Structure 1
Amino acid sequence: MSGGAPDRARVRGAAAALGCYLIWGLVPLYWRPLAAVDAHELIAHRLVWSLVFTAPLLWWLGGFREVFAALGSWRSFGLNLASSVLLTTNWLVYVWAVNAGHVIESSLGYFLVPLVNVALGRIVLHERLRPAQWLAITFAAAGVVLQLVHLGRLPWIALSLAATFGTYGLLRKRSPLGPLSGLTLETLLLAPLAATLLLWRAHEGVGALGHAPGITQGLILCAGVVTTVPLLLFAYGARRLQLTTLGLLQYAAPTVQFALGVWVYHEAFDRARAQSFAFIWTGLALYTADALWTQRHRVTGV
């Protein structure tokens, strides 16, 4: 094998991962035109059409054996059901927030995810934290408290998104399923409820399909593609990149979301919010620097 082959694989992996995070960052542009549709209905469509898109693909790849195996015990079933509920809750909060004009606060939630992961590692897995990690969490907590003091409320959207996605990630680490088989099972478990909601709304004459403008119906039918394509890009990139590199690229998604909120949707971003973000970004900088330093010393053995 030529010496350039691993480098080309890493470049392709980085391009795929970056593409994934850019799609996730730009996804408010997809959801915002659907603001007239009830958020619960949108998530029901997302579950159903994601399953319609992923199930044939997984069948073609021969991955359903994994899914059936994961349903072989009550413990595994419960773990995947909990993951499904957390992911669906995260989707619901995010879609509602974007369409209600809270793109900036949504981006804050995903900036917080790495630090929430560190905190969950300490609380749930009893991992020992390095001093820089403690300091990073302290800065993030200070940023949240600052919003409470200056704005008179907790950033509940950001905290909900960070908590649900962080906990979802923790549960997914305990599952042997890959990204595609995991998403297929998670959508499969809640698809019956989602389909029931859609049928009920259609019966009542308030469902989007068949009643909304054609462009709205077309966008709804694309929900499975919008959900699955970035996940496949992520899976491709994750197999070819170090976790540290993947961790750095993940900031692209909330950064793009933040830019959309400020410069495209012109949401309020006053001094109090800027100060809060500054504390959280400082915490992220400490977390990232510590991760890079730790990775370097593991590689060099110093």
Structure 2
Amino acid sequence: MRLNKYYSAAFLAFFIWGFFSLALKPLYNYSSLDILFYRVFFSVVVMVLINLVFRKKVIQKDWNYFTNMNAKQKRNVVLLTLGGGVFLSLNWFVFIYVMNNVSVKAASLAYLICPILTTVLAFFILNERLSKWQWLAVSISALSCVLLSINYFESIFYSLIVAATYAMYLVSQRKNSQMDKFLVLTVQLIFIALVLLPFYPVLSGPVPTEPLFYVCLFAIVLFFTIIPLFLNLYALKGINSSAVGIMIYINPIIGFLLAIFFYNEEVSFLQGFSYFLIFISVLIFNERVLFAKKMKIAPSEIEGF
């Protein structure tokens, strides 16, 4: 891979996401639902402002494109967009819960499993083909999950839920390629916010008054949502999605290292061996991209969470 501004943008996006726990862990005293409420509401405000101030031409172009679609195409776009919003909100909620109530390791494991799980779901739902090497990688990854579940069922259970919800989001959005992705994400977040709004007065706790909450929330919205997303979308303009797909593993690797060396979470031999198997499965799964002279495969389009 020749290093250029697009590769640098993709690397930086996932590198930043790897440190998400630094902004999220200080909020462990707040409920996962409260963090979700404020993350969604603040993200909507920021993203709507970005679209209205900087992306008016994109909005007009996509609106004209949408109005010229036939009824079936419009229905598909609406269903895929809103359905993706449901999967994304579930992913955000479970991820926040796992990070603050289970372990950083479990949250990191989810995004090690996610790319492979995404491709398996795409095989059954979208009829996308897998090579023999990729099936071998899936088998190794499944074996590692079985090993992890022997003594750590709760961790692997939540990791699989996080991975499955994000994988379903990605699979659902593969067919939703007609519209601008950042605009689609904005619409999805507005939809999530409208769904959550009636529940906010009933299910939310007291309005946070600690400055730490808003400092961390500002970091989550700006540094771990908006900026990495911009970098990711920019990278996809200049490199194929298979190259971006490989870089998603930067995120959980950093998270796993933080869990061990920063949060002092214990790692047993079985856990370490299982993570090692997942790492091997990642290499095998991406062998065509990693070891081929020319990258010709673009298995999936990886976006921000």
TM-score (norm 1): 0.86
In the TM superposition, what is the alpha-carbon distance from 1:117 to its structure 2 partner?
2.1
Q: Match of 2:117?
A: 116
Cα distance, 1:68–1:80 mapped onto 2, change above 3 Å: farther
For structure 2, the 5+ residue unaligned runs are 298-305
For structure 1, the 5+ residue unaligned runs are 1-6
Cα distance, 1:152–1:54 mapped onto 2, change above 3 Å: closer
Q: Match of 2:107?
A: 106
Range that drifts further, 86-95 or 59-68? 59-68
In the TM superposition, what is the alpha-carbon distance from 1:167 to its structure 2 partner?
1.1
In the TM superposition, what is the alpha-carbon distance from 1:252 to its structure 2 partner?
0.8
- Contact 1:80-1:186 at 8 Å conserved across structures: yes
Cα distance, 1:86–1:201 mapped onto 2, change above 3 Å: closer
Taking only the aligned residue pairs, the percentage that are identical comes to 21
Q: Match of 1:22?
A: 15
SS state at 2:184 partner: helix
2:241 is the counterpart of 1:246: no
- Contact 1:26-1:257 at 8 Å conserved across structures: yes
Q: Superposed, which structure 2 residues align to 1:92-103 within 5 Å?
A: 92-103=93-104
- Given candidates 218, 221, 233, the residue that maps to 1:224 is 221
Q: Any idea what the Cα deviations from partners look like across 1:147-204, whole Å, max 9, x if unmatched?
A: 22343557112111111111111111111233311220111112123333334467xx
- Given candidates 269, 277, 283, the residue that maps to 2:275 is 277
- Contact 2:15-2:250 at 8 Å conserved across structures: yes
Q: Match of 1:162?
A: 163
2:181 is the counterpart of 1:188: no
In the TM superposition, what is the alpha-carbon distance from 1:16 to its structure 2 partner?
1.4
In the TM superposition, what is the alpha-carbon distance from 1:297 to its structure 2 partner?
7.3
Whichever residue aligns with residue 258 of structure 1, its letter is F
Distance 2:35 2:154 in 1: 28
- Given candidates 40, 60, 64, the residue that maps to 2:59 is 64
SS state at 1:296 partner: coil
SS state at 1:155 partner: helix
Distance 2:43 2:92 in 1: 13
Larger Rg: 1
TM-score (norm 2): 0.85
Q: Match of 1:236?
A: 234
SS state at 2:179 partner: coil
Q: Any idea what the Cα deviations from partners look like across 1:112-136, whole Å, max 9, x if unmatched?
A: 1121122112111222321101100
Distance 2:240 2:207 in 1: 43
Cα distance, 1:154–1:253 mapped onto 2, change above 3 Å: closer
Q: Match of 1:125?
A: 126
